[in-house]
Amino acid sequence: MKKLASIDIGTNSMRLLIAEHGEQLENRKKYIDITRMGHGVDSHGFINEETMERNLEALHQFIDLARREKVDDIYVMGTSALRDSKNRNEFVKKAKELTGVQVEVIGGKQEALLGFCGAIAGLKTSGYVLIIDIGGGSTEFMLGSREEGILFSESLNIGALRMTEKFVKNDKVSMEERNQIAEFVNRDMDSIIEFLEAYPITQLIGIGGTITTYSAIVQNMKTYDMNKIHNSTIKREQVSYLVDFMAEQTLEERKTVSGLQPKRADIIVAGGVILETILKKLHRDSITVSEYDNLEGLIYHNMKSGN
Distance CA 149, CA 100 (A): 34
Residues 6+ apart with CB under 8 A from 165: 39, 40, 42, 43
Residues 6+ apart with CB under 8 A from 81: 9, 10, 11, 37, 38, 41, 47, 136, 137
Phi, psi of 288, rounded to the nearest 5 degrees: -85, 135
**143 touches 120 (CB < 8 A):** no
Digitized pLDDT (tens) for each residue of the chain, 307 residues in all: 899 999 999 999 999 999 999 888 999 999 999 999 998 888 889 999 999 999 999 999 999 999 999 999 999 999 999 999 999 999 999 999 999 999 999 998 899 999 999 999 999 888 999 999 999 999 999 999 999 999 999 999 999 999 999 999 999 999 999 999 999 999 999 999 999 999 999 999 999 999 999 999 999 999 999 999 999 999 999 999 999 999 999 999 999 999 999 999 999 999 999 999 999 999 999 999 999 999 999 999 998 876 6
Domains of the chain with CATH codes: 2-108 (3.30.420.40), 124-289 (3.30.420.150)
Provide the CA 188 distance to its chain's centre, in angstroms. 18
Distance CA 199, CA 180 (A): 29
Beta bridge partners of 287: 234
